[in-house]
């Protein structure tokens, strides 16, 4: 019998941000943590609406007046009994508000103060603005990505923001929570997307000194340089992914494509013939539809699979495409929260699932569900422990907030 998700009871304060910070909060929330997002109270006359954040599953929000000392006092009081605080801002932003790690850890020595930046906090770019492409650029990872004779190609913002940023920050939080079990004390956790992306690129960085990746971008085994590790278009403009690296897998690919007897099994490592082999594979895959090739290779070890788009995964009602959204890991005894509505076992998570089932995200409005969350956490009520001033929550002036 499955019990509660593993982070049930963990209180997380997430300062409003974009992409990596909210993703870190989402990972914690999906694992059962109670996540309260802190939004800035709207400034009168400010024409720019708050940026839309769709990574809001299972979260609540409060809007806090950070220009009012009573608003800062409210956050101090919340942080004094929180387990984790997520700071997604540039170095020094929260410190200027009096919300840096020094005062908050002094008030709550068990707090995990998790800070996420794009560039290194101690590097030459620390004070500069940047985005995913910039962090990958200075980490060295971006130079690896792309086709031969083409510019470096960023993989959306997956590698920096989400893998190297938000997910790495959560790894740090979990490590700090483990350390707290031994020491009883929290600590500052610092992650940045430069180091995160660079760490994720450990294998290709090491492989640059081996034949697997010692050539320029787009000419290596795993970066589209090799014809049997590539995507190929089909007759109906679909795509098949080929990853037949090992000899026996390549033999299965050749067999499925009907190319036996042409010597490719013996001559595939002759790089001079790679352009010819690529041409053969391109023509062969274009001779049938994706569905036809899917039927040929399903159940084989050819490492040849269809490339699905999210639009068809979302529309799949049979479950055959394995496109339903699931938690990133399966914990058999304490599953994470379900994403899909009809989750059936631990691999799909637990609970009722969510609207959109992982294909549609919904904005969390500033203040949405926050007062209920404060009631749940501390038994607080508006007019008692806190009040609303200039569109944001502040600590009640008579100091009645008790924890």
Q: Looking at the chain, how many residues does it have?
A: 403
Q: What is the pairing mode between strands 392-395 and 386-389?
A: antiparallel
Q: Which of 225, 220, 226, 191 is nearest to 203 (CA)?
A: 220
Cα-Cα end-to-end distance for the chain: 34
Q: Which of 125, 156, 128 is nearest to 139 (CA)?
A: 125
Angle of helix 132-139 relative to helix 193-200, nearest 10 degrees, comes to 60
* Residue 173 in tokens: 């939080």
| CB contact set of 183 (below 8 Å; sequence gap of 6+) | none
The residues that bridge with 64 in the sheet, in sequence order, are: 40, 393
Whether residue 193 contacts residue 135, with contact meaning beta carbons closer than 8 Å, is answered with yes
H or E element at residue 132: helix 132-139
| Residue 117 DSSP SS3 | strand
Location of structure tokens 């637990």: 350
Residues designated as active site: 161
């Amino acid at each position: 019998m499955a019990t509660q998700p593993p982070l049930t009871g963990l209180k997380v304060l997430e300062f409003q941000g974009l992409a990596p910070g909210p993703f870190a909060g989402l990972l914690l929330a999906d694992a059962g943590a109670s996540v309260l997002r802190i939004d800035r109270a709207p400034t009168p006359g400010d024409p720019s609406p708050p940026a839309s954040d769709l990574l809001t599953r299972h979260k609540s929000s409060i809007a806090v007046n950070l220009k009012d000392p009573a608003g800062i006092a409210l956050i101090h009081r919340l942080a004094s009994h929180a387990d984790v605080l997520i700071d997604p801002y540039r170095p020094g932003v929260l410190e200027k508000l009096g919300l840096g790690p020094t005062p908050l850890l002094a008030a709550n020595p068990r707090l995990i103060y998790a800070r996420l930046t794009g560039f290194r906090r101690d590097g030459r770019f620390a004070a500069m603005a940047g985005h995913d492409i910039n962090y990958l650029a200075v980490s060295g990872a971006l130079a690896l990505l792309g086709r031969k004779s083409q510019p470096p190609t960023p993989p959306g913002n997956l590698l920096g923001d989400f893998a190297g940023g938000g997910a790495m920050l959560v790894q740090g939080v979990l490590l700090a929570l483990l350390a707290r079990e031994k020491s009883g004390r929290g600590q500052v956790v610092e992650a940045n997307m430069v180091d995160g992306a660079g760490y994720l690129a450990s294998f290709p960085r090491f492989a640059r000194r081996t034949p697997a990746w010692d050539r320029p971008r787009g000419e290596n085994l795993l970066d589209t340089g090799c014809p049997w590790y590539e995507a190929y278009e089909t007759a109906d403009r679909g795509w098949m992914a080929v990853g037949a690296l090992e000899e026996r897998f390549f033999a299965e690919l050749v067999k499925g494509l009907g190319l036996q007897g042409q010597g490719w099994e013996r001559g595939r490592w002759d790089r001079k013939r790679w352009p010819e082999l690529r041409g053969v594979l391109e023509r062969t895959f274009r001779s049938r539809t994706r569905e036809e090739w899917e039927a040929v290779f399903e159940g084989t070890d050819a490492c040849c699979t269809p490339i699905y788009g999210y639009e068809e995964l979302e529309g799949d009602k049979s479950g055959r495409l394995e496109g339903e959204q699931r938690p990133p890991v399966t914990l058999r005894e304490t599953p994470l929260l379900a994403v899909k509505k009809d989750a059936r076992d631990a691999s799909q998570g637990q609970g009722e699932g969510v609207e959109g089932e992982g294909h549609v995200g919904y904005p969390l409005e500033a203040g949405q569900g926050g007062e209920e969350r404060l009631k749940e956490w501390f038994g607080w009520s508006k007019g008692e422990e806190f009040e609303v001033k200039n569109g944001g929550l502040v600590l009640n002036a008579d100091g009645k907030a008790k924890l």
